[in-house]
Structure 1
Amino acid sequence: MGEVRFPEQLTIEWLQDMYEKGAIAPEDTIREVVRRAQADADNPIWITPPSADALRPYLERLERMDRSAAPLWGVPFAVKDNIDVAGMPTTAACPEFAYVPEAHAEVVRRLVDAGAIPVGKTNLDQFATGLVGTRSPYGETRNALRPEWLSGGSSSGSAVAVARGHAAFSLGTDTAGSGRVPAALNGLVGYKPSVGAWPTKGLVPACASLDCITVFAHSLADALAVDAAARGAHGGDPWSRDIARSDSLPPSRILLPAEPPAFFGPLAQEYAAAWGEAVRRLTSLGLPVETIDTKLFEDAASILYDGPWVAERWASLGEFVDGHPGTAFPVTERVLRSGAAERHTASAAFQAMHKLQRYKAEARKLLRNAVLAMPTVGGTYTREQVRHDPIATNSNLGKYTNHCNLLDLSAVALPAGLADEGMPFGITLFGLSDQEHLVCGAAELWVGRSAAEEPSTLVAVCGLHMRGFPLEAQMRACGAAFVEEADTAPAYRFVKLPTTPAKPGLIRCEEGGASIRLELWRMPLKTFGGFAAAIPAPLGIGKVELADGREVPGFVCEAYAVRGAEDITEAGSWRNVIS
């Protein structure tokens, strides 16, 4: 089988297409997943990382499966380490809590039966208590695009594993926003089904009455393919419900906050501007738009940690924390122990439940046949800022997420461009639990409009900015995505510049030129100018002619740089020079 270069973003669609063509086999995919996880080993994404030996039984099982009955055949996925995978330790990011389950969590079992491969267990905010991604003794999972910033929690490792190409999709969990905040901060889709739509059997509970297992993916289509395999009640799970998802339909109207949302953190202005652009795009979807007072959702969100549901966390984990003093992450223990406060009486619990029931009734009236759009998060922080103020920063990240499960809503977090260079912005669409098809319908309209509207340009790169090389991160930070490999017209000379590190130079020549292999990336126009301006001489951006006749912006080199440079034209590509 010939060598195939894997795209940086693994998707179900690409993998299935390549398997169908016979261009790759699942063994090749797992080999690449292991390589990528090892290359990112300095970022604590994994608690149990992918291992070729450990995954061999899954590959052997695929050989015996009927591919026509296995819609996720050969697709690698990551699993948050509070969800059981048979034979892999479940730690919930607490080593002293660890155990090795004999059976898969029910959702994992369904995905494995559909042909998917659980490649490893990912890092998380300990006991799924946090929205920041910094509350783990295994280390702070760094943002996939800007490592000094938050990755989001608690499903930090799950989101970053997908964003970094270690898996095509991943499982997270969501009690207060953990399946949506990391999606927004890493440029992913985060799909949160209705409470109970996916069974939680085999999940270490945070708040069992609110917990959801969720999916991170690069596209809405991939997320919904996972949903189709995972959805359905389970007789052994008292929290699961039969909630069907009908074919997608647009809602009767889009609801927006009447008052401008509050934004926070060092990029508050940038987030506000990104929300303004998102509102413009939402109003162009062809659906009626109404503004509403969102105080109902704020009031519901406020009772999550001020009410008895924090006591539910303590009911699940208090015995372990008391029995193992000093083992819980300090800020996590502080949050959990707040659930043991004297104010959490039985009377207070019923008062909060009755208040919440009124909120639910109001939400059902307001959202019937409609979808509510809000920012997924109103800002972000550096990891250093969170260390200095771990409670307030975490609380701010939940401002537009905490209400969701309390009000029995479904939600999908969607990418919505950039708030700043290399800093994704996202929105979330909310709908009633029995109207997920309307959330999906609105999301499909958003995805279609986003693809049509985002001004961008192809950029041809032939050296250190290509995939796997040191400056690839600059491309990602500018919001660029790999498109394809291509060849120049046979009119170029290729040289190795005497720089540190060594760089190639692509020089147009009138005769004696050759065709050079390069990569085409698509970059948003709003970041392209700054990217081009930062390129040092003798390199720059000019028009590069491709073998198929297209002319695209790309890296070129001044002719004077030939002096003192090594001619590497015969190599045909920078990869052949470096490998």
Structure 2
Amino acid sequence: MSELQTVITISWLREQYTNGTLTPSQVIQSIIERAEADQEKHIWITPPSLAYIQPYLDRLKVLDTQLPLWGIPFAVKDNIDVAGMPTTAGCEEYSYLPSGHAAVVERLIHAGAIPIGKTNLDQFATGLVGTRSPYGDTHNALRPELISGGSSSGSAVAVALGQAVFSLGTDTAGSGRVPAALNNLVGLKPSVGAWPSKGVVPACESLDCVTVFAHTLEDAELVDQVVRGIQADDPWSKEITAGERKLPAKLLLPDEPLTFYGPFAEEYRAAWEKSVNKLKALQLPVEYVDIQLFQAAAALLYEGPWVAERWSALGGFIEAHPGVTFPVTEKVLRSATKPEFDAASVFTAFHKLQSYKLEAKKLLQDAVLVMPTAGGTWTREQVAADPISTNSAMGLYTNHCNLLDLSALAVPSGDAAPDLPFGVTLFAASGEEGMLFRLAETIRTAQEHKPSTLVAVCGLHMRGLPLERQMREHGAVFVREDRTSPSYKLMKLETVPPKPGLLKLPQGGASIEVEIWEMPIATFGAFTAAIPAPLGIGKVELEDGSIVPGFICEAYGTVGAEDITSYGGWRKALAAMAEAKAEAAL
């Protein structure tokens, strides 16, 4: 029997079935064992169990094995109906037992897929953090102390930890994208109405979308092909194709410095800069745009009367069941009862939104907008201490999407730090998912064929200093601040302007502050060739013992130079020189 790997894709699992190295029953048994072992991560509300799954396994015997999803296990967010499994929407008192499947679930089962359980969520799909559930905080798949993202928290983590091949989430304000970014997954939010929402507990019924989490673009696209299409008995369903699979005529990027937040704000900022450089390397036309339009639209979702749509769906239940709703969730929903959110305000906001939608449609004509999926993340403790503002921050780059009737694809874009994935979202007009898939595929291919190297920088090439531009011109991205091992000497060379020279000593020495950058191998040679003697690129040993390419100085160049090792780095030496110059002028 083949081992069930953690990263399970549709193509890999189908290959195992074809080769006879795995059977659907063996896969399901492994998934059940994994879910039981991870109970403390609060991934499931109705966990995988043979009591629910066996009928679907039995059914496979009479199904054509060539069905696109034959034997593929998937998880379902617990605000989406699966016949015979309770739907709780994250609230036990709200729970009901549906007699039929949600339309999307029905289509997946018809294609041979196996629903295996119902996943945890921010209660009533109101939140982007994954901590607003009476069933417990869902832990991040890579770093359990961090949030998983919400509201589709369990759906994302189940896929990331190999407890499902793909999963269904929902997305009103970013719930199908934020958990993807925080757990290193692909998250597809189709055009509003392109996937039927029949059988989904409404949040904002006019905006709600069912979404998919997967490890690969191919898996997300296959699920889209299976479930896309109009549903005759769904009043919100539309006939929207995925559009032509082509590259956009141009990429749109924000024209202003973006906001990053949380304990890893600087790491996220650096990861965004690196992502932008990768996008520019695609050699597609790039246009910088004012994102105030998207932020103005986003403000309507929770700061305007649209929150009243959530109350219209759930207010009756909350009033009839005092004290059962998760406290912060009830606070958000009750904000809809403010006197200023009257009928006139609804129409005022609706008319304003129509003008925003027209602007967005013009802007996104044959174009794709790229923004961070999230501008940061938080620990679960930080969210517990400040549940409102932390959650609001998570929606900074997501809340506009459904209001403006856009399609969106969240994709991984490297790591901000170890076990801290970073992701970007590609936005296009409704019915342009094909363009999103084509662009995402192109980005992935470019990344696979463009190796890079770390570079340790100790002088004028550091951030904010005169030669930083040379780093940027060669496609380098700042990674982190670091220090050398305690075996170096730093000299102030007699050059104009003054430069530092880093020398490694056979014994003794000190630890010197450096910056670590990442530069494409394709430009590294030209950059190195342009460095004037006595400086050059050699091997620099860092404080943790690792060795990276970096600036060093040949010994002859330090003859007559001033030893500035005691300052511990070039920045501190510059500050001391400036202070001495100021004192001399007095």
TM-score by length of 2: 0.77
User: Within the alignment, does 1:136 sit opposite 2:133 as a pair?
Assistant: yes
Equivalents in 1 of 2:545, 2:315: separation in Å? Answer: 53
What residue number does 2:266 align with?
269
Residues 530, 349 of structure 1: alpha-carbon distance in 2 compared, 3 angstrom cutoff: farther
Residue 345 of structure 1 corresponds to which residue in structure 2?
A: 342
Whose Rg is larger?
2
CA distance in 2, matches of 1:525, 1:291: 24
Picking from 13, 16, 22, the partner of 1:15 is 13
Q: In 2, distance between residues paired with 1:137 and 1:25?
A: 36
Question: Where in structure 2 are the equivalents of 1:131-210 lying within 5 Å?
Answer: 131-210=128-207
Deviations 1:229-271 (Å, cap 9, x if unpaired)?
Answer: 1101101100010001134110000000000211111111111
Instruction: Tell me which residue corresponds to 1:384.
Output: 381
Matches of 2:13 and 2:290, distance apart in 1: 44
Which letter maps to 2:371? M
Question: Equivalences for 1:174-573 in 2 at 5 Å?
Answer: 174-453=171-450
Which letter maps to 1:361? L
Counterpart code for 1:71: P
Does the Cα contact within 8 Å between 2:242 and 2:434 map onto a contact in 1? yes
Q: Residue 472 of structure 2 corresponds to which residue in structure 1?
A: none
Counterparts of 1:155 and 1:211 in 2: how far apart (Å)?
A: 13
- Select between 283-292 and 125-134 the one with higher mean Cα deviation: 283-292
Gaps of 5+ in 2: 454-517, 521-539, 547-586
Amino acid in structure 2 at the alignment position of 1:264: Y
Give the deviation of 1:455 after TM superposition: 5.4
What is the CA-CA distance between 1:444 and the residue it aligns to?
1.2
Counterpart of 1:111 in structure 2 is: 108
Kindly state the Cα deviation for residue 530 of structure 1 after the two structures are TM-superposed.
Answer: 12
Q: C-alpha distance in 2, partners of 1:265/1:285?
A: 30
Aligned to 1:36: 34
Change in Cα spacing, 1:454 to 1:264, as seen in structure 2 (3 Å) is farther
Write the distance in 2 (CA, Å) between the matches of 1:315 and 1:152. Answer: 25
- The separation in 2 between residues aligned to 1:452 and 1:21, in whole angstroms, is 31
Report the CA distance shift for 1:95/1:531 in structure 2 as closer, same or farther (over 3 A): farther
Q: Counterpart of 1:42 in 2: which secondary structure?
A: helix
Q: Deviations over 1:116-151 (max 9, x none)?
A: 001000000000000000000000001000000010
In 2, the alpha carbon distance for the partners of 1:208 and 1:30 equals: 34
Asked if 1:25 is matched to 2:20, the reply is no
Where in structure 2 are the equivalents of 1:87-102 lying within 5 Å? 87-102=84-99
State the SS of the aligned residue for 1:255.
Answer: strand
Aligned partner letter, 1:430: F
TM-superposed deviation, 1:60: 0.7
Change (3 A) 1:103 1:525: farther
Q: Give the drift of 1:420.
A: 1.4
* 1:290 Cα offset (Å): 0.9
CA RMSD of aligned residues (A): 2.0
Give 2:254's aligned amino acid: P
Taking structure 1 as reference, are residues 339 and 85 closer, same or farther at Cα in structure 2, changes over 3 Å only? same
What TM-score comes out, normalization by structure 1 length?
0.78
> What number of residue pairs does the alignment pair up?
464
Give the partner amino acid of 1:50: P
Gaps of 5+ in 1: 457-523, 536-579
Q: 1:84 aligns with which of 77, 81, 86?
A: 81
For 2:208 and 2:387, the matched residues in 1 are separated by: 23
Q: Report the alpha carbon displacement of residue 115 of structure 1 after superposing the two structures with TM.
A: 0.5
CA distance in 2, matches of 1:451, 1:408: 32
Bigger CA drift: 86-95 or 238-247? 238-247
Distance in 2, matches of 1:38 and 1:31, equals: 11
Q: Distance in 1 between matches of 2:255 and 2:52?
A: 53
1:5 aligns with 2:3: yes
Matched, 1:52 2:50: yes
**Residues 1:530 and 1:429: Cα distance change in structure 2 (over 3 Å):** farther
Shift of 1:450: 2.3
> In the aligned structure 1, how far is the partner of 2:298 from the partner of 2:258?
15
